Amino acid sequence: MMVGIMKMKYLDHGFKIIIETFNMIAKSYIIGVVEDIDLHSITLKNKEGFLIKIEVTSENFVFSDYFIRPKKFSKLSVSKLDIIKIEKRGGVKILFKHGSNDNLLFVTDQCNSSCLMCSQPPKNVDDIEYFYKINNEILSLIPKDIEVIGISGGEPTLLGEKLNLILKRLKLEFPNTRVHILSNGRKFFDKNYVSRLSLDINKLATFGIPLYSDIATIHDYVVQAKNAFYQTAIGLHNAARFGLNIEIRIVITKLNYERLPKLAKYIFMNYPFVEHVAFMGVEYTGFAVVNSELIKVNPDVYMDQLKEAVLFLNSMKINTSIYNLPLCLVHRKLWPFSVKSISDWKQEYSNDCKLCEEVNICGGFFRTSRLKYNNINPILEKKYNE
Amino acid sequence: MITYSKERNLITCLVDSSIYNMDIIFKCFYWYGKLFSIEICKKEDFVEILIEKKEGIIDEVMFNKLRLKIKQDLIDFKTRDIVTKETKSVRELIIAKAFSNLSDEEEDIIFTSPVDR
Amino acid sequence: MKKGIPNKLKSSNGYYYLLPFRFERINQEKEILINEVGDYLICDIGTASKIVNRQIDVKSNFFGELISNYFISKEPIPALLNLLANRYRTKKSFIDNFTGLHIFVLTLRCNHLCHYCQVSRKNEKNELFDMQYENIDLSINLMFKTPSVAITMEFQGGEPLLVFNKIKYSIERVKKLNKIHNKKINYVICTNLTLVNDEILTYCLDNDILISTSLDGPKNIHDENRLRSNGPSYESVVNALNFAKKRIPLDRISALMTTTRMALNHPKEIIDSYIENGFNHIFLRAISPYGFAAKNKNKNEYETEKFVEFFKIALDYIIKLNNEGVYFVEDYTALILKKILTPFPIGFVDLQSPSGLINGVVVYNYDGYVYASDEARMLAESGDYSFRLGKISDNYNDLFYGEKAKEISENGSLEALPGCSECAFQVYCGADPIRNYVSQGDTVGYRPTSNHCFKNKSIISHIINLINDGRNNENEIFRSWI
Ligand code: SF4
Ligand code: SF4
């Protein structure tokens, strides 16, 4: 086994980083599994089996989540067996968190829609090749028995053939892993595309596809794309025809909350084959902040409609969940559908939550959300079974 | 125009045939056949419908009710007629599409209830 | 477009095209619009006419709703045509399950004398009225020829338990042959239960056979209806029921009731007696116009109107019970609800179009002939062989695709029948050419005086009104039934 050493030196002012290592010169980053770690050094094993030790030579800097940072900001959450990427300039990014069910392959920043509440606004950059390489490295490094892995972007279907290659690889090397792909489903409009996809995909894979309204113009407006509704609608049927598993994802905004019960009925009548329907609160970052005037609505305003929609789908035996809403803002009848959905690294609780009896089953809110709910109301008596 | 003759126990209905075609008239008065015997005669540019009660007599109250009902029914059946005729070909298309033979690798999509899964 | 700043998407011009739909007034203020696949919208009266006269505001949500629910389209060939075709195929997919229900009448003999009996039963001892073994074998062969993967083999009578040995013979034979055919087979025995014993029940339990019996309500009604040749039968049925319940799970036993003139005044008592006997559902059936029932006009001729009244009171009472926490289902309502509230088809022959005759059900009769339905063989008992498809020994194609079969199917589609073709409830209703023939003299029938039409129209619009009103949790309760 070969061992390489990389030394990172810092100038005290700013973040200029000099990297000295024999095989880092050609590449702009290193990806590997964390074998050993402390505040000043980290040992990675890359996909060829090389061990690379990285040391921070300046006393004032340490490793942290995103970047090698001045000591006082440090909050180290990288741990053994995680897969991380270290960039030339010293950026550290966790690509795969060991033991978490939230891992995903990020495939592109590009998208063919531009949803008003997108938390991760699309970028028009040619990044497919770049992420494809990284994701393949990740796939070489992660354990073959992981339970679930996500694929997200951007819009994964923009990858074309490369998405098929990733899916094929997952199917072959990870036959028991549940693959969860977030797509707007518009590409599924093309029957031949779906047909090919269905051959490359593992039986446990699910596509999470958004449908924001039963009315075409509302859906199109929310995703800012004409004919998106028709494409997705036909896409959903094509997906069903070729046996793909489907989850419908509904982000609740001011634009669509009034018709949630009608949307629920529409989904049941037209897409009764879906495996799961998820109603989701907004994460106020990205476009959601820019467009907050247009989309922002407090959960108490739409709770009646949400209740009707969720209970309807449930009574029609469609699996239904609510994501991203603090429990105290959700009607008690809907608690059984509330899921702790916010990734642990994005999750946050308020000061009031310390008093709350249900803090353990509540998912809290997005640390990344720029607009906070103003009516958090700690639950002081347990009444879950009421 | 709908008139009523007490002596003859008969309602006469004159319908403008440029507004209501024979299909509409037949379909509309079909439903009156339980209680009434109906006679339909085509005249120059209108159609005359004679409505006679099979048993008992038609009184003023019944006539007034019937008059309103006939007017309403004619409009409803005209609306139905428009839908039937305008949608004839698209209806055939839907059925053809629903039962067309698909190529081998394609499976017909037929939903099953989540309860049966 | 500037990043993240929303674009108003251009809306198209105002013209739109109609898609097939039908409508009907349901009360003083509302009308219901129902499309080709059974999706409905309840709107103010006059809405259909507004739609047709192109008076719907294209910018309104209602316009969008009409499009998503396939009432109109912006293009001459709708963008969502594929979806609509898939929905249509699903609704009609019962056709693919060609002949799912196979009724075996192994004997016509019976030990009861019910005054409304639909088959003119014969004396208990006369074995001339049993099916020959040879014909049992041939019938089973025919049954296996059906393309459906899931089939129900139902033993009727007379009283089939009088020939339990032949039931056993048939099932054993089917089990063996099914090793090649691999069909999913459900067995049902329709019996008055008075002859059940340990051996029979053990056999039913071991073979997962469903027992279907008759219970017409409390003692006074049941006994009035079902005079046993040697004594009253309510006790014997209830005793037998209790005996059976100890041995097989209650969900393997179901009961059918027939509404007679006497029953019409006692809806609550009948339902209570079902609950008392441990059932959580009831099928409120109007008496049918066949066999003895047709002859016994005096006693049983009652207005369908009265039945509808009875049905409404019973349904109200059942809803009240559900609200009090008793889960209890009216099966006919549940079937109609499944047609109204879900995109799925139902496998109930009376509510299908094309009609369930032959393509849903077929009868192998003790007399060696195949009939289009249970009703068809009852008609034969009174000397009318119009719906006899042929001999059990005939060839499958001649029987199931022959002249007789064609003749029956010709008038078996509501879509093409006068009165029905533009009826809003068509998608929720069913065609029954044999019933038309029996009650009105020909297979086309005449809707204005048809009891079948009156009954279905009244019941369907009553259910729709309950859904629309919903003030007693009807919607929640109804959803729990389907
Ligand atoms: S108070 Fe905090 S922990 Fe409790 S339900 Fe609300 S958000 Fe969740
Ligand atoms: S039988 Fe009557 S209710 Fe049924 S479809 Fe025909 S007209 Fe309508």
A64 and A213 co-located in one domain: no
**Vertex A163: Cα angle to A157 and A164 (nearest 5):** 115
Q: In this structure, is residue A134 part of a structural domain? A: yes
d(CA A90, CA C83): 52
Task: Please say if the pLDDT value at position C118 is more than 70.
Answer: no
pLDDT tens digits along A122-144? 888 888 888 999 899 899 999 98
Q: Which chains border C (3 or more CB–CB pairs < 8 Å)?
A: A, B
What would the DSSP string read from start to end of chain B?
A: -EEEETTTTEEEEEEETTTS-HHHHHHHHHGGGGTEEEEEEE-SSEEEEEEEESSS---HHHHHHHHHHHHHHHHHHHHHHHHHHHTHHHHHHHHHHHHPPPPTT--------GGG-
Q: Give me the sign of the Cα torsion angle C147, C152, C153, C159.
A: negative
Any domain includes A380: no
Same domain (yes/no): A298, A342 = yes
From B86, which residue of chain C is nearest by alpha-carbon distance?
Answer: C18
Interchain contact C454–B (C-beta under 8 A):
no
Report the distance separating Cα B89 and Cα B72, nearest Å. Answer: 28
Interhelix angle C433-440/C374-381, nearest 10 degrees: 30
Q: Determine the pLDDT at residue C356.
A: 75
Task: Kindly provide the b/e burial profile for residues A351-379, where b requires at least 16 CB atoms within 10 angstroms of the residue's own CB.
Answer: eebeebebeeebbbbbebbeeebeebebb
- Distance between C18 CA and the closest CA of chain B, angstroms: 6
The backbone torsions φ and ψ at residue A291, rounded to the nearest 5 degrees and listed phi first, read: -100, 20
User: What is the per-residue pLDDT for A99?
Assistant: 79
Q: What is the ipTM of this complex?
A: 0.89
Under the banding of pLDDT at 50, 70 and 90, the label for residue A72 is very low
Compute the half-sphere exposure of residue A86: CA atoms within 13 Å on the CB side of its CA: 29
Q: What is the pTM of this model?
A: 0.89
What local confidence, expressed as pLDDT, does residue A8 receive?
Answer: 59
Mean pLDDT score of chain B, rounded to an integer? 86
- Helices A228-241 and A191-200: crossing angle in degrees, nearest 10, is 50
Q: Is the model's pLDDT at B11 over the cut of 60?
A: yes
Nearest by CB: B110 against C19, C78, C89:
C89
A212 in the same domain as A169: yes
Identify whether residues B58 and B34 lie together within a single domain: yes
**Is A177 within a domain?**
yes
| Contact C286 CB / ligand 2 (< 6 Å) | no
For ligand 1, what atom is nearest to the CA of residue A358? 4
Mark whether B49 and B82 lie in a shared domain. yes
In a domain, A378, yes or no: no
Instruction: Please tell me the distance from the alpha carbon of residue A276 to that of residue A208, in angstroms, as a whole number.
Output: 9
Q: For B47-51, C145-149, C367-371, C474-478, which range has the lowest pLDDT when averaged over its residues?
A: C145-149
Percent of chain C at pLDDT exceeding 70 = 87
Chain B touched by A34 (CB under 8 Å): no
Same domain (yes/no): B78, B102: no
Q: Which of residues 303-322 of A touch C (CB under 8 A)?
A: 312, 315-316
Distance from residue A64's CA to the centre of ligand 2 (Å): 73
Range of the domain at A31: 3-93
Contact indicator for A347, A363 with CB cutoff of 8 Å: yes
DSSP A197-241: HHHHS-TT-EEEEE---SSHHHHHHHHT-TTHHHHHHHHHHHHHH
- How far is it, in rounded angstroms, from Cα B27 to Cα B22? 8
Most confident of A11-20, A123-132, B106-115: A123-132
Whether C61 contacts chain A with CB within 8 A: yes
pLDDT, chain C, mean: 86
* Domain membership flag for residue A233: yes
Residues B72 and B106 in one domain: no
CA distance B5 to B11: 6
> Which residue on chain C is closest to A215 by alpha carbon?
C64
What chains are in contact with B, requiring at least 3 Cβ pairs below 8 Å? A, C
pLDDT given at position A189: 93
User: Of A156-160, A342-346, A356-360, C171-175, which range is least confident?
Assistant: A342-346
Give the mean pLDDT of A34-55: 79
The answer to whether the CB of C427 is under 6 A from ligand 2 is no
Using a pLDDT cut of 90, give the percent of chain A over it: 46
Q: Are residues A27 and A136 in the same domain?
A: no
The CATH number of whichever domain residue B47 belongs to comes to 3.30.70
Q: Which residue has the higher pLDDT, A58 or C412?
A: C412
pLDDT exceeds cutoff 80 at B77 = yes
| β-strand pairing of A320-323 with A276-280 | parallel
Question: What are the φ/ψ torsions at residue B3 (nearest 5 degrees)?
Answer: -125, 165
Taking only Cα atoms into account, the Rg of chain A, rounded to an integer number of angstroms, comes to 22
User: Which atom of ligand 1 is nearest the CA belonging to A326?
Assistant: 7
A162 shares a domain with A310: yes
> Do A263 and A149 share a domain, yes or no?
yes
Same domain, residue pair A46 and A159: no
Please, which pLDDT band fits residue A346 given cuts at 50, 70 and 90? confident
What pLDDT sits at residue C98? 67
Residue of chain B nearest A273, judged by CA positions: B111
Q: Whose CA is nearest to atom 2 of ligand 1?
A: A353
Mean pLDDT of A161-171: 94
**Mean pLDDT in residue range A4-25:** 51
In this prediction, residue C234 carries a pLDDT of 79
> For residue C218, is pLDDT > 80?
yes
Same domain, B16 and B60: yes
Distance CA(A61)–CA(A40), nearest Å, equals: 8
How close is the Cα of B83 to the center of ligand 2, in Å?
A: 18
Q: Are residues B25 and B78 in the same domain?
A: yes
Q: Which pLDDT value is given to residue A12?
A: 45
Over range C113-128, report the average pLDDT: 58
Residue B43 sits in the same domain as residue B82 = yes
Confidence check: pLDDT of A325 > 80? yes
- The number of folded domains in chain A is 2
Contact state of C83 with A269 under an 8 Å Cβ cutoff: no
pLDDT, average across residues B70-95: 94
More confident residue, C94 or C50: C50
pLDDT digits (tens, 9 = 90+) for C289-313: 554 444 444 444 457 888 999 999 9
Assess whether B64 and B108 both reside in one domain. no
Buried/exposed code over A245-259 (b: 16+ C-beta within 10 A; e: otherwise): bbbbbbbbbbbbbbb
- C13 near A CB under 8 A: no
Q: Return d(Cα A205, Cα A207) in angstroms, integer.
A: 7
Q: Give the residue from chain B lying closest to A319, CA to CA.
A: B114
Q: What local confidence, expressed as pLDDT, does residue B103 receive? A: 45
A51, A137: one domain: no
Residue A305's CATH number: 3.20.20.70
Range name among A67-81, A253-267, C447-461 with the lowest pLDDT average: A67-81
Q: What is the pLDDT of residue A266?
A: 97
A65 and A29 within one domain? yes
Give the model's pLDDT for residue A73.
42
Domain span at B110: 88-117
Helix, coil or strand: residue A335 = helix
Q: Name the nearest CA neighbour of C382 among C289, C256, C286.
A: C289
Same domain, B68 and B106: no
pLDDT at A213: 97
How close is the nearest chain B Cα to the Cα of A164, in Å? Answer: 19
Whether B79 and B34 share a structural domain? yes
* Residue A227, in any domain of the structure: yes
Per residue in C314-341, pLDDT (tens digit) is: 999 999 999 999 999 999 999 999 999 9
Residue ranges of alpha helices (H) inside chain A are 128-141, 161-173, 191-200, 216-223, 228-241, 260-270, 287-290, 292-295, 299-315
From the CA of C430, the nearest ligand is 2
- B113–A195: do the CB atoms touch at under 8 Å? no
Q: Are strands C17-18 and C21-25 parallel, antiparallel or unpaired?
A: unpaired
The residue of chain B nearest to residue A272, with distances taken between CA atoms, is B111
* Count of domains observed in chain B: 2
User: CB of A264 closer than 6 A to ligand 1?
Assistant: no
More confident residue, A14 or A93: A93
Task: Please check whether residues B110 and B67 belong to one and the same domain.
Answer: no
Cβ of residue A234 closer than 8 Å to a chain B Cβ: no
User: What is the structure's pLDDT at A386?
Assistant: 44
Residues in chain B within 8 Å Cβ distance of C73: 90
CB-based contacts of C425-428 (< 8 A; 24+ apart in sequence): C425/C24, C425/C34, C425/C456, C425/C457, C425/C460, C425/C461, C426/C22, C426/C34, C426/C353, C427/C34, C427/C35, C427/C36, C427/C37, C427/C38, C427/C91, C427/C339, C428/C34, C428/C38, C428/C336, C428/C339, C428/C340, C428/C351, C428/C456, C428/C460
Q: Do A130 and A79 belong together in one domain?
A: no
Cβ neighbours of B38 (radius 10 Å): 18
Please answer whether residues C144 and C182 qualify as being in contact, where contact means their C-beta atoms are separated by less than 8 angstroms: no
Section C154-164 average pLDDT: 89
Kindly list the strands in the beta sheet with C40-44, ordered across the sheet, starting from the edge strand earlier in the chain. Answer: C21-25, C30-35, C40-44
CA C187/CA C155 separation, integer angstroms: 8
Asked if B28 and B40 sit in the same domain, the reply is yes
Contact between B106 and A318 using a beta-carbon 8 Å cutoff = no
Most distant CA pair in chain A: distance in Å?
A: 64
- How far, in Å, from the CA of A361 to the mean position of ligand 1? 9
Chain B residues whose beta carbon lies within 8 Å of the beta carbon of residue A317: 113-115
Which of C160, C143, C127, C108 is CA-nearest to residue C370?
C143
Atom 1 (ligand 2) nearest CA: C453
Which phi and psi angles does C264 have, rounded to 5°? -55, -25
Tell me which of A49, A74, A93 is where a domain ends.
Answer: A93
Whether A228 and A306 share a structural domain? yes
For residues C237 and C219, give the distance between their C-alpha atoms in angstroms, rounded to a whole number.
Answer: 10
Pairing between strand C17-18 and C72-73? antiparallel
Instruction: Please indicate, yes or no, whether residues A337 and A193 belong to a single structural domain of this protein.
Output: yes
- Domain annotation covers residue A375: no
Could you tell me which residue, C127 or C395, shows the higher pLDDT? Answer: C395
